[in-house]
Amino acid sequence: MIRLNAFFTLKEGASTEDVLAITKELVAKSRQDEGNHGYDLFQSTTNPRVFMFCESWENAEVLDKHSKAPHFTSAVPVLGALTADGLKIESFEK
């Protein structure tokens, strides 16, 4: 099992509504990907400009397939343009 947490901070001028519009389909479709055991987006309670994706995957192979899926490859560049310093990703294994 792989747990992936991806953190990002919105840059000035980007809004929570922008993030939610981009990630709604990404989250819904990612949950349907083979080998997915959880895919959620959280907003910080101490800094509303900070978000975290929490993902759980069966193994590295299905995570790799997810990273090549159209719903992922189309959303990431758009989301990246809204971030102050890109995504910071931490990966964990169980």
Contact in structure between 61 and 55 (CB atoms under 8 Å): no
Question: pTM for this one?
Answer: 0.92
The total number of structural domains that make up the chain: 1
Q: In terms of residue numbers, what domain contains 35?
A: 2-93
Digit-coded pLDDT (tens) for 4-51: 999 999 999 999 999 999 999 999 999 999 999 999 999 999 999 999
Contacting residues for 22 by C-beta, under 8 A, at least 6 apart: 75, 78, 79, 82
CATH number of the domain bearing residue 13: 3.30.70.100
